[in-house]
Structure 1
Amino acid sequence: MIIQVRHLRIAATVGMALAAGAALTACGSDSGNDAAGSSTAPTSAVASADAGATTPTGAADGTTSTPAPPTKAADGGTGGAGNGTGDAPASSTRCQTSNLGFSFGPGSGAQSVDSQGGIDVVLTNKGSGTCALQGFPGVDIVSTSGSHWSLSRQAKTAGKVTVKPGADASFEITYLPFDAGNSGGSVAFHAASLLVTPPGETHSATLKWDGFADVMDQSGATHPGTYVAPVVAGDGS
């Protein structure tokens, strides 16, 4: 009987020790789970971290609304309001033939028959709004017999020109007068008028070839001495 009692006490003691060990193991497992879960912040922590940020009114998706930067214009200027650089503002349109006045600039014409002369053709904006011109005009010299000579263009870069109401732009026609004593076998092109088409337009205006010398007929030449320059600002004076 004494031996059996001792075995029961030892068994009870071992059981208590095993139970205590299991309890310690369970505590250690819970501690490990909390450490791994700490990488995900509680919802309240995220909200407090963003508490200083505000969402602009009207942003339906909660994103910040930022004004779009100005767009770059094809001519290199900035879109939107006029920037005073001489480029046409976004509100301007191409100058139309019907809104332009055509005249000759001061001092036009050859000074002598044996040298090239220049004719400035002035384009005056008679419209109510600002318009723009860029490039070369189409220019035909029309003879007294009705034949047309479409002038070659000078090898020169053409910039954009803004023309306010009442302001001028212009272009130059360089021409070689006919010299009967030094014609080299060439003949005269008896000019009667100029047919001028502004850049980008299809309608033309006619100017009388008044007081200028006849032109050396080089209409079939590769590099004629008569040609047209691009439109520039001002009246050419």
Structure 2
Amino acid sequence: MAYSSRSARRGALLAGAIAVLGLLSSCGSQHDQAGPAKTDSGTAAPATETSKDSSPGAGTAASTPAGPASSAAARSSGSSDAGSGTGTGTGTGGKTGATSTRCHTSELGASVGRNDPGAGQENFPVVLTNKSGRTCTLRGYPGAAFVSASGSQLGPDPRRESGSPVTITLKPGQSAWAGLTFSNPEISEAKTATPAALLVTPPDERDQLKVAWTAGAVPVSGNSSSVSLTVLRPGSGV
């Protein structure tokens, strides 16, 4: 009886030990399985996001905004266009040709100076004076015609005497003159008329200046009726 009780107690103790060992083994297995799974799920996602952020292909492109770069390019292009525009503008200004320095009729005043007779000739200086505020030039022969009070021309146009034209620069107030010459009608016995005015046309102009004529009769036809003009020269002919 005593032996049987000991054997039963030993068997019970052994069974309990085996049960405890089995329980401990089961808990250890569950701890081993749950621990690694928890560690993997906790570190995998941040590692993946870090990898994406540091990726040259994705992270760099995503972190670089496209708008400012496009705006800078547009500004650069605009600056280039503005420069070209300015150049063009500056170029357009250079294309304007040199301003003519010729004296225009509207800038001149005309007068007839005092007669300086000699050798049967009547000699009058026809004077053109720069009345503008700028410097201008005259070159060549003026035009001239005697006219009646009604405006009709008396006699032919004066002929031009030979001469070498020069460019005359007139500052404001300065003058140039051409000699108007004809034979004394009392000597030449030419047919005469008394003009009311002398019309003077500056070189290369079409508009005329009208000067009252107060020097009496002039030849208009017949013998020795020719009237002549000289080339313009600096001064007033006095």
TM-score by length of 2: 0.52
Alignment partner, residue 120 of structure 1? 125
| 2:229 maps to 1:228 | yes
Task: Measure the CA separation in 2 of the matches of 1:224 and 1:188.
Answer: 8
Asked if structure 2 preserves the Cα contact closer than 8 Å seen for 1:110 and 1:177, the reply is no
Give the 4+ runs in structure 1 shifted more than 4 A: none
Q: CA deviation at 1:109?
A: 2.0
Larger Rg: 2
Kindly indicate whether the alpha-carbon contact (under 8 Å) linking 2:138 and 2:167 is maintained by their aligned counterparts in 1. Answer: yes
Identify which of 106, 120, 125 aligns with 1:98: 106
Over 3 Å counting, the alpha-carbon distance change for 1:235 and 1:92 in structure 2 is farther
What are structure 1's unaligned runs of at least 5 residues? Answer: 1-89
SS at match of 1:213: coil
Of the three residues 127, 151, 161, the one matched with 2:168 is 161
- CA-to-aligned-CA distance 1:194-226 (integer Å, 9 cap, x gap): 11000010100011111x1311224x77x8542
Q: Does 1:214 align with 2:220?
A: no
Q: CA RMSD in A?
A: 2.4
**Which amino acid is 2:207 matched to?**
H
Choose which of 134, 140, 145 in structure 2 pairs with 1:140: 145
Q: Which amino acid aligns with 2:107?
A: N
Give the partner amino acid of 1:95. C
Distance 2:225 2:165 in 1: 20
Give the Å deviation of 1:165.
Answer: 1.1
Structure 2: which 5+ residue stretches go unaligned? 1-97
- Matches of 2:237 and 2:175, distance apart in 1: 9
The structure with the largest helix share of the pair is 2
> TM-score scaled by structure 1?
0.52
**Contact 1:92-1:130 within 8 A present in 2 as well:** no
Q: Determine the C-alpha separation between the residues in 2 that align with 1:178 and 1:133.
A: 32
1:202 corresponds to 2:202: no
Count of paired positions: 139
Percent sequence identity over aligned pairs: 35
1:189 offset after TM fit, Å? 2.7
Q: Is 2:102–2:137's contact at 8 Å kept on the other side of the alignment?
A: yes
SS at match of 2:181: strand
Q: Which residue in the other structure is 1:178 paired with?
A: 185
**In the TM superposition, what whole-angstrom CA distance separates every residue of 1:79-108 from its partner, at most 9, and x where no partner exists?**
xxxxxxxxxxx7661001111111223xx2
